[in-house]
Amino acid sequence: MRILLVEDEVRLAENVATALREGPGFAVDHAGDGLTGVDLAGNGCYDAVILDLMLPGLDGLGILRRMRGQSDGTPVLILTARSEPASIITLLNAGADDYLTKPFDLGELIARVKALVRRGKGVAHPELRVGDLRMNTLEQTVRRGEREIELSPTEYRVLEYLMHRPRVIVSKKELLEHLYDYNWEHHSNVIEAHLSNLRKKLDGAEKVPSIETLRGRGYRLILDQEPVR
């Protein structure tokens, strides 16, 4: 999952970005001002956007309005120092999905961002199920049937993204965009290796392949059973 963080306070941005990378293993892009923020958000490759309200250039509300004006439905979490109801109502009515008032709890921020990412993909529960494959996003564990599968962090992130989009063809570019921050192109060659490893670990003794490779088009998580959500 890839998150855009627009925050002008450098130290706060560093901390939030580190927490998101270390905790749920998200890729994080950071913009230090509103104009850069709105540029990056325009790429449309983010699974959630975290916006500070008071920004140089263009404020958080302006970025939000521009995103929603371009029919960008990416979940948006607002960070604000103002907690009065009028300000929050304005934010939510402008299209924000959630908000946190400063100073916030880092754990709460991570939980909210994860919830927003889930919701953005149409999933309600932190435990994802596709066929007999189950992923607990809180413990970051994966089971197929009764068998527990050990995954590397990158493998886990690849699977997490695919499990959020079961039976949909996900191109290599899309996968790269959502797994890595702006320098994703450096990872282009390794993604295939990660996918190959992931496939081996998932399938093990099973006959049915879990991840299909569609040459030139991308990858698809496909399991014989209907996904249960």
Partner 1 sequence: MKAYSIVRRLIVVMLVVELLAAVVVSGLALEHERHERFQAFDVMLRGRADSLLGSVQQAGDEADTVMLDGTEARLPKDDLYLVSAQDGKVLGRSANWTGEEAQRALSHPESGRGPRHHNGGTYFPVEVAGVPYVMVRVEGVRMVDPGEKGGGIARRVTIMYGSPIGRVWREVREEVEFYAWMSVGVMVLTALLMVWLLRRGLAPLRELAEEASMVSVRSWEFTPSERVTATKELRPLALALGDVLEGLKESFLQRDRFVSDAAHELKTGVAVVKSSLQLLTMRERTAAEYVSGLERTQVDCERMEAIVGKMLLLARAEHTEEKAGERATNGVAVASVVHGVVDELAPMAEARGVPVVLDMDEGVMVAAEAEELRLVCANLTQNAIQHSAAGAEVRIVVRRLVDDVEMRVEDHGSGVAADDLPHVFERFYRGDPSRSRHTGGTGLGLAICKAIVVRLGGSIAMESVVGEGTKVTVRVPVWQG
Positions touching partner 1 (CB under 8 A) are 8-12, 15-16, 18-19, 22-23, 32-33, 54-56, 81-82, 101-107
Min dist CB 52 to partner 1, Å, is 9
Listed as own residue / partner, the contacts of 104-110 with beta carbons closer than 8 Å and 24 or more positions apart are: 104/79, 106/15, 106/16, 106/19, 109/16, 109/19, 109/50, 109/77, 110/19, 110/20, 110/23, 110/24
Min dist CB 104 to partner 1, Å, is 6
Min dist CB 192 to partner 1, Å, is 30
**Could you give the CA distance from residue 72 to residue 70 in angstroms, rounded to a whole number?**
5
Min dist CB 12 to partner 1, Å, is 5
